[in-house]
Amino acid sequence: MSLETTAGSERTRLLVFNGGLLTSRRIRRMLALSGFDVRIGLPKQGDNVGVWGNSPTAHRGLGVATRHNAPVLRVEDAFLRSLHPGRSGEPPLGLLIDRSGLHFDANQTSDLETLLATHPLDDTALLNRARGGIERMRKLNLSKYSAFDLSALPPDPGYVLVVDQVRGDAAVTASAGDEARFREMLVMAQEENPGATVLIKTHPDTIAGHRSGFFTTADQSDRVSVISTPVSPWALLEGAVGVYTLSSQMGFEAILAGHKPRVFGQPFYAGWGLTQDEAHLPHRQRNLTRAQLFAAAMILYPTWYDPYRDKLCQLETVLDTLEAQTRAWRQDNKGWTASGMRLWKRKHLQQMFGREKKVRFTAEQPAQSDRPHMVWASKAKGTESVVRVEDGFLRSRGLGADLVPPLSLATDNQGIYYDPTHPSQLEEMIAARETLRPDQELRVEKLIAQIVSAMITKYNTGDGAPDLPEGHRILVPGQVEDDASILLGTSTIRTNTDLLRVVREANPNAILIYKPHPDVEAGLRDGAVEAAEFADVIATQCDPAALLSQVQEVWTMTSLLGFEALMRGTSVTTLGAPFYAGWGLTNDLGTVPARRGARPTVLGLVHAALIDYPRYMDPVTGDPCPVEVAVERLSQSAAPASGPLLRILSKLQGAFATHAHIWRR
């Protein structure tokens, strides 16, 4: 199936008799993008009947299809669905659209079983995507439902895991699951693993109170315990010495985690040489690898949806989406208290961090609180135990000093990226990206190409570049001289004038292009200098992206333009200690922390700084989003602007720029 239906392509009417297929806008939209127009009524020639899995209402559609000799289209949630169970009201990110049967019912061949049995599954690119997808799911702790707090830990390793399911579920019924079968599974888990403790994993729907399972706390004994807290399945699987399941999707994830689970039913992943099967499946004779199973079940079979761009997409885009959504939920689900936040920022901070529970703004950190505490980085005192917050590196279309709200914010529980006098979480992330998986390299390469082609920088302001003289061109970005990155990240060279002097002395024959800082040009911050003594060109009111494509070097104290130059393959010399210095990627004339001993590539640096470190909010949907969506919004000028009251306030701040130490408190 193509990722998008094209205008004018042939469409199929899909007659439905299930309320969910009618009332869920997301499901109807995915079906429409897949070429199906959802309707009510009786089928005619060429129409299909749509049925939701084997739900209690499925018999209606099946009966109509039989009477009118119409083909049946089975629809189910995909294996990566959402943060929360569907019964919580959250729409899915993917569907399983099957023309043959149901993936969980081995009594009738499904499209998935046909893929697993007949598709070559030998394409190198496909299998590389599968391996990358498996590793991303494991690293990001993604499952069908992914709203679990990673601080919730499983018991000590060495247990046998028994996976509970919910009563009346179609996947349980299709595998002849009943009370006796689950009891047998629990008994065998104990008999086959003498001396090992047995851990019963409660189903998420049971934890949420939607449906009951087969096991309760009454089943606990000196060897058996029940875990009903939302612990990551991947963490549970890592500590397990064996996995027992009827037909749960967790059995599939157990395979991906390296287990060979004991399977008592007939799920789609049984019978391919990757499980220990109680049931005999004579029509499944092929032995598959983990990557082949994943490629069919997660890449070829599902229909995936991109909620930001409203189109069908590939698995990798859904992984990007869930990475952003789970990170936000896991950070925010306990709520926040916050101090040191200026009034104009609070609405945006509430939008960014208060989706689960409203942020409580306080004068200072509460002495006792069940919530983590955040402080705007410049207001944090010493090494106090707080989460520091600062603008991300792809910020907005407009200046922060002009009170334009950001699309991205970075949180750091160790320090902050612009302060090299203390370790930061960003430094750890950069060091961890010394090596990248192939899928990570590919993602960053695409991201950099997207940023460069769209000419995206931090603020995205200014006009085109002036005509530049021929010669070896060096861009020298001016900075706000009382900025924290200058005060904390420089030593001997701390002013724009000294920077220009040093660059000219080191490069007497070069063409020096001085780019004043946009906050200074706007009259919002101090830092204007007489640059003509040293610079050949003073590029005022200029988009830095237009300059970066025309210069051979960038010399800077700590400006983010150095990082933006590295993304574009331009040589960078630093005279301070910005976050991107000290990793072997820049010519460092300043003092950089000795702890920066890792040697990542530019791709690893960009992955850490733009994917791992900040959070992004989509200004169109208002939801947490991947960096690629933020870049797209910036390129389309869809980023938010400051309101009229904030613009007036920013003008007043500019008028009193020489007294910035007062109004910036």
- Across all residues in the chain, what is the average pLDDT? 91
Any alpha helices (H) in 356-458, and if so which ranges? 425-432, 438-453
- 197 in helix, strand or coil? coil
pLDDT at 8: 45
CA–centroid distance for 204 within its chain: 22
pLDDT, one tens digit per residue, over 376-414 is: 999 988 667 899 999 999 988 776 556 788 899 999 999
pLDDT at 657: 44
Same domain, 265 and 358: no
CATH code (residue 266): 3.40.50
The phi-psi region of residue 434 (left if phi > 0; otherwise alpha if psi is between -120 and 50; otherwise beta) is alpha
Nearest C-alpha neighbor of 213 from the set 246, 251, 261: 246
pLDDT exceeds cutoff 70 at 644 = no
Structural domains of the chain, count: 3
Residues 417, 485: Cα–Cα separation, whole Å: 9
HEC sequence for 102-169: CCCCCCCCCHHHHHHHHCCCCCHHHHHHHHHHHHHHHHHCCCCECCCCCCCCCCCCCEEEEECCECCC
Q: Is residue 160 part of a domain?
A: yes
pLDDT at 458: 87
Same domain, 358 and 466: no
Same domain, 472 and 547: yes
Q: Is residue 316 part of a domain?
A: no
Same domain, 249 and 185: yes
Same domain, 445 and 593: yes
Same domain, 248 and 379: no
Assess contact for 152 and 230: CB atoms under 8 A.
yes
Same domain, 612 and 487: yes
Full residue range of the structural domain in which residue 618 is found: 429-644
With 0-12 CB in 10 A as exposed, 13-18 as middle and 19+ as buried, what is 428? Answer: middle
458-467-480 Cα angle (round to 5):
35
Assess contact for 359 and 378: CB atoms under 8 A.
no
Contacts of 19 (CB under 8 A, 6+ apart): 57
Q: Is residue 272 part of a domain?
A: yes
pLDDT at 521: 79
Q: Is residue 315 part of a domain?
A: no
Q: And the tokens for 193? A: 């693993």
pLDDT at 639: 63
pLDDT exceeds cutoff 90 at 115 = yes
Same domain, 342 and 479: no
Same domain, 375 and 472: no
pLDDT band of 9, cuts 50, 70, 90? low
Same domain, 445 and 544: yes
CA–centroid distance for 411 within its chain: 15
Assess contact for 589 and 555: CB atoms under 8 A.
no
**Helix 124-140 and helix 438-453, axial crossing angle in degrees, nearest 10:** 90
Give bridge partners of residue 49 from the DSSP assignment.
Answer: 15, 72
Same domain, 440 and 516: yes
Q: Is residue 480 part of a domain?
A: yes
pLDDT band of 648, cuts 50, 70, 90? very low
Q: Is residue 235 part of a domain?
A: yes
pLDDT exceeds cutoff 60 at 6 = no
Same domain, 447 and 538: yes
Q: Is residue 191 part of a domain?
A: yes
pLDDT, one tens digit per residue, over 485-505 is: 999 999 999 999 999 999 999
Q: Which residue has the tokens 């791709």?
A: 603
Q: Is residue 153 part of a domain?
A: yes
